[in-house]
Amino acid sequence: MQKRCPCGQLMTMKLRTVIYSGKVEIDNVPIYSCESCNRSEVYPEVKPDLTGLIGKLGAEPGKQTYLFNEWNEWADLLVEAYQARKSTDATIVKPMIEERINTLLDLYTIAQSVNDEQWIADIHKRLTQLSRCEIQP
Ligand SMILES: [Zn+2]
């Protein structure tokens, strides 16, 4: 996935490690970066979850490591795409999103049939995270 950098070059998306407060490592964060001017930006659709995670850490967090893909369905899908195909191109990721949404909807039906509210809430959160993502071809 790519977007245009203010300097005019194309920015490419990679899964990178974000270090917060010099102590907390957050792995697998989707980030756009520009090789020409070194600008980097957190993928906009995952920002609410990244800030939410950082918010939970408090003012003086201890040394710890998080896998961002355990917090965000979209990052999880990108990790899966990268592991399976060594690429996060839209052509690879797009069909995976549709497949993942279908799987989640099936699970949602099952969760509702057994009346598991926590499970229903979890699936709902994951679906919301995925539906925020617009894929630019
Ligand atoms: Zn640039």
Would you kindly state where each structural domain of the chain is located, as residue ranges?
A: 2-131
pTM score:
0.84
Q: Residue 65 has which token pair?
A: 């490591």
Surrounding ion ligand 1 within 5 Å at CB are 5, 7, 9, 34, 36-37, 39
Distance 33 CA to ligand 1 centre (A): 8
Tell me how far the alpha carbon of residue 11 lies from the centroid of ligand 1, in angstroms: 7
Q: What is the pLDDT along the chain (137 residues), one digit of tens a residue?
A: 788 999 999 999 899 999 999 999 999 999 999 999 999 999 988 999 999 999 999 888 999 999 999 999 999 999 999 898 888 888 888 899 999 999 999 999 999 999 999 999 999 999 998 887 766 54
The answer to whether 129 and 73 are in contact (CB under 8 A) is yes
Distance 29 CA to ligand 1 centre (A): 19
Structure tokens at 31: 């980030």
Residue with tokens 């996935």: 1
SS3 state at 51 = helix
The string of DSSP letters for 60-103 reads S--SEEEEGGGT-HHHHHHHHHHHHHS---HHHHHHHHHHHHHH
